[in-house]
Structure 1
Amino acid sequence: MENPLFLFPHLNISSSKEKTYCKVMKSTNKEEENKDIKTRSKEKRNRLSLLLQKAEFHENVNPDKSENLREASSVSPEDVANWGESFDKLLSQKAGLDAFTRFLKTEFSEENIEFWTACEDYKKNKASQQLLPTAKTIYETFIRKDAPKEVNLDFHTKEITAQNIAHPTLNSFDAAQAKVYRLMEQDSYPRFLRSDMYLDLMKGRQPRHPALRRRSRSFTFNEFQDVHSDFTIWL
C-alpha cells in the first residue's frame, strides 16, 4: 500500500511547516532589506538637506551684493599685491579679510574664517565676566561635535579646548585657532590667490560673479544613485 502522504500531499504537515517557515524567513529578510534601504536613504537625505540649507544661506548672503563689489573694486592693485606676500598680510587688512571671506563663501567653507575672527574678537575681551559666556558660545557654534558651523579639528585639540573653557582665559582658543589658521593658509589661501576674484582685483577690475563650489563637507551625486524610488521612504 502506498504512503498516504504521497497520495495526499496536502496532508504532509511537515512539508507545510517548511513552506510556511520559508515564507516567513523571506518576508523577514525582505523587511530587513527594505529597512536598511530606508535607513541609508534617510542618512543621505539628511546630508542633502544640510547642503541645501547651506546653499540657501549663500543665496541670502550673496557674496556678490553690489555694496560688497563696490568696496572690493575700491582697493588698489598695490594693496591686493601685498595680500599675495603672506596670509598674515591678507588678514591684517580689512579689505583683504572681507575679500577672503567672500571667496570662502563660494566654497562653502566660511566657517573657518568666521571661527578665526571670533577668536580674535574673544581675545579683545576686557571684562572677565564675559569670558565664560562668550567662550561657551564659540565652542557650541564652531567646535562641539555636529556644531552648526563645526570647523575641522582633531579630537585632541577639541578636548584641550573643552578643558580650557571650563576656566576660560584670553588664550583658551589659541590651539584651535592656530590649527584653523594653518588649514586656511595651506589650503584655501593658495586657491584664493589663483581665483578670478583675486586676479580681477589685481588688475583693478570689479570682481566677476564667482561660481559656487562644493568643497566643505561635500559629497557627490553618485552617492544618491542607490536611493530607493519608493516615495514612502521620505516619510
Structure 2
Amino acid sequence: METALVFFPQLSMCESKEKPFFELMHGPGKEERNREAKIRGKEKRNRLSLLLLKHELQEETLPSTSGHLAKDIRVSPEEAVKWGESFDKLLSHKGGLEAFTRFLKTEFSEENIEFWMACEDFKKSKEPQQIILKAKAIYEKFIQNDAPQEVNLDFHTKEIITKSITQPTFYTFDAAQSRVYQLMEQDSYTRFLKSDIYLDLTEGRPQRPTNLRRRSRSFTYNEFQDVKSNVAVWF
C-alpha cells in the first residue's frame, strides 16, 4: 500500500518564526519608536536647559538676602525696635525687608512678599509692552493654577486677574496685592516680632543660624526682595 504525501507550503515553521522577528528588529515600527524617543529626549534636554537658564538669571538679578543681613546692612537696635510699631515701617526699611524675608524663608512662605514686591515693581512700568510682559510674568509665576510660587487667593480675585491678563492695566493686581499684604500683616508679621531673628536685632546680638520649618500653605503670601525694575527679573 502506498502512502500519499501532502505538502502545505503555507505552514512553513521557519517563515512563521523568522518573519515576525525580522519585522520586530528591523521593521518601521522600531524605527518610528526610536525616532520618537530621540525627539522626546531632545525636548526634555531643552526644557531642562531653559529651567537652568531661568534659575541662573534669577540668581544674577535677585541675589538672596537670607543669611547676609549682618554682612550687607548694619541695623541698630533702635532702628529694629521701630519695625515693631507697624508693618509699614518694617517694609519701608531695607534692613527690615531683608530681615522679614529671612524669617519667611524659615517658614517656606516667601512667595507672598515676593509677589507683593513684584506688584510694586509692576506699577513702575512705563511702556505698554513692558506692562504686558511683566503682567504675564507675574501671572505665570504667582497666580495661575500650579504656578511655581502660587499665592493663596480666593477664586473671585483670581478669576478677575485671569480675565484681564490679556489687556492688563496698572490696577490688574491691586486686589490680590492688598489681600496678600493683609495676610502678611495679620499673620506673618506678628510671628516675626516674636522670632529670634527680630529679637536678636533689637538686642544687638549677632545673627544666629535659623532653623527651617515647614508650615501649612493656608497662609501663603510672603517675600520681598530689593529687585531691579527689569522685565527679565520675573521670567
TM-score tier (shorter): 0.5 to 0.7
Counterpart of 1:173 in structure 2 is: 173
Counterpart of 1:213 in structure 2 is: 213
Counterpart of 2:70 in structure 1 is: 69
Q: Using structure 1 for the length normalisation, give the TM-score.
A: 0.63
- Is 1:157 matched with 2:160? no
Provide structure 2 residue ranges, at least 5 long, that are not aligned to the other structure. 1-62, 219-235
**CA displacement at 1:208 relative to structure 2:** 1.3
Equivalent residues in 2 for 1:78-227 (5 A)? 78-217=78-217
The one-letter code of the counterpart of 2:193 is L
**CA displacement at 1:216 relative to structure 2:** 4.3
Q: Is the 8 A contact 1:109 1:216 kept in 2?
A: no
Q: Is the 8 A contact 2:66 2:98 kept in 1?
A: no
Q: Alignment RMSD, CA only? A: 1.8
The one-letter code of the counterpart of 1:113 is I
**CA displacement at 1:112 relative to structure 2:** 0.4
Counterpart of 1:28 in structure 2 is: none
The one-letter code of the counterpart of 1:70 is K
Q: Is the 8 A contact 2:157 2:176 kept in 1?
A: yes
For residues 117 and 147 of structure 1, do their structure 2 counterparts lie closer, same or farther at Cα, with a shift above 3 Å needed? same
**CA displacement at 1:213 relative to structure 2:** 1.1
**CA displacement at 1:167 relative to structure 2:** 1.3
SS of aligned partner of 2:81: helix
Counterpart of 1:13 in structure 2 is: none
**CA displacement at 1:217 relative to structure 2:** 3.4
For residues 106 and 143 of structure 1, do their structure 2 counterparts lie closer, same or farther at Cα, with a shift above 3 Å needed? same
**CA displacement at 1:103 relative to structure 2:** 0.6
* Counterpart Cα distance in 2 of 1:202 and 1:108: 24
Provide structure 1 residue ranges, at least 5 long, that are not aligned to the other structure. 1-59, 219-235
* Counterpart Cα distance in 1 of 2:64 and 2:75: 22
* Counterpart Cα distance in 1 of 2:65 and 2:91: 21
* Counterpart Cα distance in 2 of 1:63 and 1:189: 17
SS of aligned partner of 2:193: helix
Q: Is the 8 A contact 1:63 1:106 kept in 2?
A: no
Q: Is the 8 A contact 1:131 1:169 kept in 2?
A: yes
* Counterpart Cα distance in 2 of 1:207 and 1:157: 39
Q: Is the 8 A contact 1:70 1:206 kept in 2?
A: no
Which whole-Å deviations, capped at 9, do the CAs of 1:28-63 have from their partners, x for residues lacking one? xxxxxxxxxxxxxxxxxxxxxxxxxxxxxxxx9682
For residues 187 and 80 of structure 1, do their structure 2 counterparts lie closer, same or farther at Cα, with a shift above 3 Å needed? same
**CA displacement at 1:69 relative to structure 2:** 3.0
Q: Which moved more, 1:192-201 or 1:76-85?
A: 76-85
Structure scoring higher RCO (CA < 8 A, sep ≥ 6) equals 2
* Counterpart Cα distance in 2 of 1:114 and 1:61: 12
Q: Using structure 2 for the length normalisation, give the TM-score.
A: 0.63
Counterpart of 1:11 in structure 2 is: none
Q: How many residues align?
A: 156
Which whole-Å deviations, capped at 9, do the CAs of 1:4-44 have from their partners, x for residues lacking one? xxxxxxxxxxxxxxxxxxxxxxxxxxxxxxxxxxxxxxxxx
Q: Is the 8 A contact 1:82 1:89 kept in 2?
A: yes
The one-letter code of the counterpart of 1:153 is L
* Counterpart Cα distance in 2 of 1:143 and 1:189: 23
* Counterpart Cα distance in 2 of 1:193 and 1:162: 35
